Chains A and B, each alone.
Chain A
Amino acid sequence: MSTAVDLRDPSTFPSRRVEAWKYTDLRRVLRETPPPSPAIKIAPGGPFASLGGEEIAFANGRAVGADAFVASGKQTLRLRFVSDATGTGHSASVRIAVKPGAKLTLLESHEGAGAGYVANYRIDLDVPAGAEVTRVVLIDEPSEAISVAAAHVKTSPGAVYRQTTITGGAKLQRQETHLAHGGEATEVTLDGVYALSGERHTDLTSVVRHGGLNGVTSQLTKGVVRDTARGAFQGKIVVERGADGTDARMGHHALILGERAEVDAKPELEIYADDVQCAHGNTVGNLDESALFYMQQRGIPADEARALLTQAFLFEVVDRIDHEGAREVVRSWLTARL
């Protein structure tokens, strides 16, 4: 997982023979460096526009203004990755720093138009002592897009970091989070929601490395797949030697609503410390038949009952987003998709 994809170098495109990419065969859909995407003009906005704050945007990989941000005090930043291209590729990387004690709401959107573009992003984020970051990532890409994004997050003692990724998938899509969980009493929430239909694919991969004492990680990912869609979840938690008192919990739960849909899950715990509480749970199933009948018995037609149950299933994760405005945006985005 450490080898980063570089669009300029096809030898960095992993195939499923690479263990960490076994559910996401990038090489199968991308063999050569794609021609560069054209420059495009975009207006400020995006799905979180109504929530205000500062905006940093990348249009087909090009920074519209600044390509880095330093948060201080209490701030909202809308980080937008906008793609509008067909058959071309682009990359971008952004560094976000937070001052100690600052509170940042990072509303990130991956907004895609066109078809068949290839996008590759890297985000570096430092959360220092006493800082609090809530990152909400909403990924809305066309069914022909290919995208790989990796966030590298470093947390320091007493920091709070909450992340929720919400995605509708693409032709091939991967969202990686690499989190260095540092120091005393750092709290991390790492959540995800995927709702896939058609032939869409997504892969939510995370590696959390606990290096300090008494760190807390709570991870909940839920997904729904229909038709021939494929969802993959790979969650790895490493508790390093000396990271005693770590409390890490990981859950992944998926509903398979299409006979040819597929979900692959790989939860991993590696523990080298003492006095650690770690747990993971993983379930894959269908909607509860008795709940469906109960709802229909009360007059709710079958399709509506299914949608309501599916929505309720996913909203458990959405309800954990610690920002009311973002929660509402995500709720309506998901509702429109179900």
Chain B
Amino acid sequence: MLSISNLHVTIGDKPILKGLTLDVPAGEVHAIMGPNGAGKSTLGYALSGRPGYEATEGTVSWQGQDLLDLEPAERAAKGVFLSFQYPIEIPGVPALTFVRTALNAQKRARGEEEVSAPAFLKMVRAASSALKMDFDMLKRPLNVGFSGGEKKRMEILQMALLEPSLLILDETDSGLDIDALRIVSEGVNALRSPDRAMLVITHYQRLLDYIKPDRVHVLAGGRIVASGGPELAHQLEAEGYDKYLPQAA
């Protein structure tokens, strides 16, 4: 269970999240929807520990463990995975090297045995063909020269290999055409499991046609202002976010 209680986050001196409270039980997929500037991406960064996103108040725990005191890499080893809206290019580090370094670093942190090179290659071949990725692309520097769709597939491939328990998908649908969206969504859906929680951050309802959420929350003004079932997403799509904006109240 992901449990966020009264979370306040500032960037510099600017408060962005202002008392956000949210529970996501393991096995469930929750969508976070909201207008631009509501703090959706900030939530993803705060949960994963990005420097500069300071939690000034409140608590965040995952599987009973307090996350806010941990370094980003320690959180990753505890299963936290943030899929970036704009995945970063890492020149000079081949994608395969990157993922293997990450996987073995996490395993070391958990006191598990590292994965050998042949075993890793076998894992990658299976996972990349499921995502219809060209294996040779993985020998290239991570995300450098990749298209928007390829970058998102690369994120899903990393998820499949790192097997995180808490997935945060930040605007995963942005920059994807319908075919890529379908492949990426299938990749995410394949990871649904009773011991995994997912937080799907999205501005549009479209993605939720492919990744069906158990619950939908509206984030506006730095707080969760409404929660409901999947029907809430359709309602937002039809009515917009106006009624949740402070000036429209």
Residues on B with C-beta less than 8 A from A290 are: 88
The answer to whether A308 touches B51 (Cβ under 8 A) is no
Partner-binding segment picked from A28-36, A94-102, A234-242, A295-303: A295-303
Give me the interface of B with A, judged by CB distance under 8 Å: 48-51, 71-73, 75-77, 80-82, 84, 87-93, 98-99, 101-103, 105-106, 109, 141, 158, 162
Residue of B nearest to A303 (CB): B73
Q: A297-B72, A297-B76 are in contact. Are A308 and B48 (CB under 8 A)?
A: no
A312 at interface by CB-CB < 8 Å: yes
Interface flags, A298-321, vs B, CB<8A=1, else 0: 111110110011011101100000
The answer to whether A302 touches B71 (Cβ under 8 A) is yes
Question: What's the Cα separation between A245 and B80 when bound, in Å?
Answer: 56
Q: A297-B48, A312-B90, A316-B91 are in contact. Are A304 and B105 (CB under 8 A)?
A: yes
Question: What's the Cα separation between A75 and B87 when bound, in Å?
Answer: 47
A293 at interface by CB-CB < 8 Å: yes
The answer to whether A298 touches B102 (Cβ under 8 A) is yes
Question: What's the Cα separation between A41 and B79 when bound, in Å?
Answer: 58
Q: A297-B48, A298-B162, A299-B105 are in contact. Are A309 and B82 (CB under 8 A)?
A: no
A223 CB → nearest B CB, Å = 15
Which of A288, A289, A291, A299 has the most B CB atoms < 10 Å from its CB?
A299
Question: What's the Cα separation between A298 and B76 when bound, in Å?
Answer: 6
A272 at interface by CB-CB < 8 Å: no
Which of B92, B101, B162 has the most A CB atoms < 10 Å from its CB?
B92
The answer to whether A300 touches B102 (Cβ under 8 A) is yes
Contact of A299 among B76, B91, B141 (CB under 8 A): B76
B207 CB → nearest A CB, Å = 21
B82 CB → nearest A CB, Å = 5
The answer to whether B105 touches A301 (Cβ under 8 A) is yes
The answer to whether A301 touches B84 (Cβ under 8 A) is no
A297-B50, A297-B80 given. 10 additional CB < 8 A pairs? A291-B89, A294-B88, A295-B90, A296-B72, A297-B48, A298-B102, A298-B162, A299-B106, A300-B101, A315-B92
The answer to whether A299 touches B90 (Cβ under 8 A) is no
Within 8 A of B (CB), among A278-297: 288-291, 293-297
The answer to whether B106 touches A291 (Cβ under 8 A) is no
Residues on A with C-beta less than 8 A from B50 are: 293, 297
Residue of A nearest to B76 (CB): A299
Residue of B nearest to A316 (CB): B92
The answer to whether A309 touches B72 (Cβ under 8 A) is no
Q: A308-B101, A312-B93 are in contact. Are A300 and B88 (CB under 8 A)?
A: no
Which of A295, A297, A311 has the most B CB atoms < 10 Å from its CB?
A297
Residues on A with C-beta less than 8 A from B89 are: 291
A-B contact pairs, 15 of them (CB 8 A): A289-B51, A296-B49, A296-B72, A297-B82, A298-B162, A299-B76, A300-B101, A301-B71, A302-B71, A302-B72, A309-B90, A309-B93, A312-B92, A312-B93, A313-B91
The answer to whether A296 touches B92 (Cβ under 8 A) is no
Question: What's the Cα separation between A319 and B21 when bound, in Å?
Answer: 50
Residues on B with C-beta less than 8 A from A298 are: 76, 81, 98-99, 102, 158, 162
Residues on A with C-beta less than 8 A from B76 are: 296-299
The answer to whether B73 touches A302 (Cβ under 8 A) is yes
B123 CB → nearest A CB, Å = 15
Residue of B nearest to A288 (CB): B88
Residue of A nearest to B52 (CB): A289
A294 CB → nearest B CB, Å = 4
Residues on B with C-beta less than 8 A from A312 are: 90-93, 141
Question: What's the Cα separation between A299 and B109 when bound, in Å?
Answer: 9
Question: What's the Cα separation between A30 and B88 when bound, in Å?
Answer: 48
Which of B49, B81, B88, B106 has the most A CB atoms < 10 Å from its CB?
B88
Q: A312-B90, A312-B93 are in contact. Are A296 and B73 (CB under 8 A)?
A: yes
Question: What's the Cα separation between A87 and B162 when bound, in Å?
Answer: 55
Question: What's the Cα separation between A288 and B101 when bound, in Å?
Answer: 19
Residues on B with C-beta less than 8 A from A301 are: 71, 73, 105, 109
Q: A294-B84, A308-B101 are in contact. Are A299 and B71 (CB under 8 A)?
A: no
Residue of B nearest to A296 (CB): B72
Residues on B with C-beta less than 8 A from A296 are: 49, 71-73, 76
The answer to whether A313 touches B72 (Cβ under 8 A) is no
The answer to whether A300 touches B73 (Cβ under 8 A) is yes
Question: What's the Cα separation between A312 and B88 when bound, in Å?
Answer: 15
Residue of A nearest to B50 (CB): A293
The answer to whether A294 touches B73 (Cβ under 8 A) is no
Residues on A with C-beta less than 8 A from B101 are: 300, 304, 308
